[in-house]
Amino acid sequence: MPHFVAEFANYLKLFANFLTTPWLFVTLAIVLFFASLKYYRVWTRPRPAGAIALACVLLFLVSVTDHNFRKIVTQPDNVPIMAMLYIVGFFYWLSLRQAAINDERIEAGKGPREQDETNDRVHVWPDLVYIEFIAAILATVVLTVWSILLKAPLEQPASLTRTPNPSKAPWYFLGLQEMLVYFDPWLAGVVLPTLIIVGLVAIPYIDRNPKGAGYYTLKERPFAIGGFLFGFLVLWVLLVFNGTILRGPNWNFFGPFEEWDVHKLVPLTNVNLSEVVFIQWLGTGLPKEWYIREMPGILLVIGYLVVLPPILARTLFKSMYPRMGFLRYHVMIMLLLIEFSMLIKMYLRWTVNLKYVIAIPEYFFNI
Amino acid sequence: MLRPDGFGESFVAEKPGAPSKPPKSKLTEAVELVTESQIWGSVMRHGYPADGRTRSLAILSNVFLHLHPAKMRKSGLRMRYTWCMGGLSFFLFLSLTVTGLLLMFYYRPTAEYAFSDIVYLREDIPLGIMRELHRWGAHAMVITVWLHMMRVFLTGSYKPPREFNWGVGVILLVLTLLLSFTGYLLPWDQLAIWAITVGTNMARATPLVGYEGPLAQMLKIGDIQLVHAGADARYFLTVGRLIGEQTLLRFYVLHCVGIPLAATVLMAIHFWRVRKDGGISGPM
Ligand code: HEM
């Protein structure tokens, strides 16, 4: 390779590594996500979408030429995760494309595409049974080829005396493991998963919008779809990606083209809110009693979870509140605020190195 | 041969008064001999599914197929609508059951043998891809279940009357992840034991019932701590303070029997409810 090409490639890699700095990467992802929802009618058309798909494939092909990136993505367990990113991307496109078509039809007074066929009743045998049969055969073929080409991983025999660095949870839980950086285990490992499950079950009882049942649309339920996909794509899939590709030894962040250096030094200067308030601002030193020391944080959390909902009901969700009623609204807002608090905590860490808003290690109660 | 209940319509039913047909070939005759026999008629309760009635009967008279309705919306048939993800999840579950069963012939869930049994599966079985089929099938199932949930959400298919089935689905999602999680430990290698260590360590921090969880110290009688490292949520999960042979056995039983049974029951409910809630959703 000519010298200047190699040099140029190096700069590109450095730039890519810079783009994946946590705060920048997540910010870019959020901006991209909302832009993709706003302009869904434009980019989902065949040509732009095809161009994006091509660019994504090329990006991958160029990336695997890099030694460090290749080392990560060719680990057997990581292959399906990379594939998943592209598969999820494809289905994101497919759903928004259909939403765009349907929304244009609805505006023209025609009703969604599904409407045309919804009253056609077909026999399950043969129409559906054949599709199932062919799908089963295809799935078998894909799975068999995949299994022949890629061997399942097996490492050294289990030993509790040799801790691998990094130790990673199974890949589908890496989003939660990522949350461990920002929250204590009782929140990231217990409360959050519980709330995700409860929140998912609660969705049909919270979302009372009668529109958009049985067809793809975005315009008729932007809030519900935006909220759900934000959680799924940004807070779940993206964090799985982070945990798989970007987290290295000591759970430090590494760019996709960066060598995993075990000795990478990351300054640990995290401070608690109480320290900021009493030491930096008031200059009095930390009070002895925990309830005085943590009062600012406790007030903040109470403000966020108790005072904010009624305020939002009168402002941002003014039109929604009367429709939903007290109970529905409060369940929804609580789930939303907690979903949002994950982001808040992440940004506070990246900007002001905040460790805990409330830190009561006496009771293992840290937020 | 026509049975008295009318179910035994023959393969090529001759109607009285029909115009005379060209002579039958030997093959047709042979087929007829089979399909009109008493044995065939006793197994198949209807003729070849060629018209509306027999097509419906094909579904209704088969214990497996009759989880389907006899007829459905055409819009629900479209790949672009369902992405086939629910069906694929189910198919993967079935194939995992079969490959898992085969793996059980070779695998002993003890600290002494688990790892070497996997090595044996990997190195010494000619053309052996059972372990691969099982592992990649499990990865694939996690992905298809996520995508299935995404499509159900995006088509608003959780709206009345399908709220309950969405809830059943969420529990299926949890069971899928738990199946995957318990299976992760079984190879008994470094990857397995440490991933499960990271995972089960969370349980230490469960509020009230984890010994490093908030409020747990408050649970005491006099000076006796009720929740401690030897009696808390993680200890219950891993049957010990560290991942060990007891954990392996517990995860093995949950993985091979407990969770699959629960998932099977819930899937039966799930599919039944898809039908009872009016089939695959479509616009009103
Ligand atoms: C082991 C996991 C699962 C299996 C095997 C499964 C299977 C299926 C199948 C075969 C269908 C028929 C329509 C289709 O294929 O889309 C279906 C529909 C449905 N599933 Fe699942 N599912 C699973 C998990 C879930 C999850 C995680 C959810 C949601 C949280 C869910 C909610 C629903 C709902 C609401 C329907 C009705 C959709 C409609 O009427 O259009 N399922 N499921």
Q: What is the pLDDT of residues B53-94, one digit of tens each?
A: 888 888 888 888 888 888 888 888 899 999 999 999 999 999
Average pLDDT over residues A199-220: 95
Strand partners, A253: A247
With bands split at pLDDT 50, 70 and 90, how would you rate the model's confidence at B15? low
N-terminal to C-terminal alpha carbon distance within chain B? 45
A360 domain-assigned: yes
Reading the block at residue B39, the tokens are 């044995």
The H or E element spanning position B221 is: strand B220-221
Q: Do A10 and A37 fall into the same domain? A: yes
- Residue B162 near residue B281, CB atoms below 8 Å: yes
**B191 in contact with A, Cβ within 8 Å:** yes
Ligand 1 nearest-atom number relative to CA B87: 10
> How many whole angstroms separate alpha carbon B271 and alpha carbon A87?
25
Between A272 and B13, the higher pLDDT residue: A272
> How many whole angstroms separate alpha carbon B265 and alpha carbon B277?
18
Residue B11 has pLDDT above 50, yes or no: no
Q: How far is residue B231 from each of residues A190, B206, B239, measured CA to CA in Å?
A: 18, 13, 9
Range with the largest mean pLDDT of A87-91, A325-329, B215-219: A87-91
The H or E element spanning position A92 is: helix A78-107
Q: Does domain B88-276 have CATH number 1.20.810.10?
A: yes
Residue A56 has pLDDT above 90, yes or no: yes
pLDDT recorded at residue B122: 86
Q: Do A280 and A315 fall into the same domain? A: yes
Question: For residue A75, what is the nearest residue in chain B, using CA coordinates?
Answer: B191
Q: What is the pLDDT of residues B238-257, one digit of tens each?
A: 888 888 899 999 999 999 99
pLDDT recorded at residue B103: 94
A298 domain-assigned: yes
Q: Do A102 and A60 fall into the same domain? A: yes
Q: Do A84 and A143 fall into the same domain? A: yes
Reading the block at residue B253, the tokens are 């039983």
Share of chain A above pLDDT 70, in %: 100
Counting the structural domains of chain A, the total is: 2
Write the single-letter amino acid at A312: L
Average pLDDT over residues A10-17: 88
Residue B4 has pLDDT above 50, yes or no: no
Q: Using CB atoms, which residue from A80, A122, A363 is nearest to B136? A: A80
- pTM for the complete prediction? 0.91
Domain range for A326: 267-367
Q: Do A312 and A276 fall into the same domain? A: yes
Q: What is the pLDDT of residues B126-155, one digit of tens each?
A: 778 999 999 999 999 999 999 999 999 999
Q: What is the pLDDT of residues A76-135, one digit of tens each?
A: 999 999 999 999 999 999 999 999 999 999 999 999 999 988 888 888 888 899 999 999
Q: Do A203 and A95 fall into the same domain? A: yes
Question: Which of A259, A291, A313 is the last residue in one of the domains?
Answer: A259
Q: Do A207 and A326 fall into the same domain? A: no
With bands split at pLDDT 50, 70 and 90, how would you rate the model's confidence at B20? low
Q: Do A18 and A75 fall into the same domain? A: yes
Question: Which of A237, A259, A281 is the last residue in one of the domains?
Answer: A259
Question: Which of A259, A285, A312 is the last residue in one of the domains?
Answer: A259
A200 domain-assigned: yes
Q: State in Å: Cα A332 to ligand 1 middle.
A: 23
Q: What is the ipTM of this complex?
A: 0.94
Q: How far is residue B107 from each of residues A325, B115, B189, B252, B256, measured CA to CA in Å?
A: 56, 9, 14, 10, 12
pLDDT recorded at residue A236: 95
State residue B73 phi and psi, 5-degree precision. -65, 140
Instruction: Give residues (CB < 6 A) around ligand 1.
Output: A 200; B 82, 85-87, 89-90, 93, 145, 148-149, 152, 157-158, 162, 165-166, 169-170, 172-173, 176, 267, 270, 274, 280-281
Average pLDDT over residues B98-111: 94
A296 domain-assigned: yes
Q: In chain B, which ranges are continuous DSSP H helix? A: 26-35, 38-43, 52-60, 79-82, 85-104, 114-123, 130-154, 163-185, 190-201, 233-238, 245-253, 259-276
The H or E element spanning position A238 is: none
Share of chain A above pLDDT 90, in %: 54
**B69 in contact with A, Cβ within 8 Å:** yes
Of the candidates B253, B192, B234, B231, the one whose C-alpha atom is nearest the C-alpha of residue A160 is B192
A99 domain-assigned: yes
**Residue of B164, B173, B274 to mutate, ligand 1, most atoms within 8 A of C-beta:** B274
A254 domain-assigned: yes
Q: Do A241 and A133 fall into the same domain? A: yes
**Domain limits, chain B:** 1-47, 88-276
Q: Do A18 and A140 fall into the same domain? A: yes
Average pLDDT over residues A350-365: 85
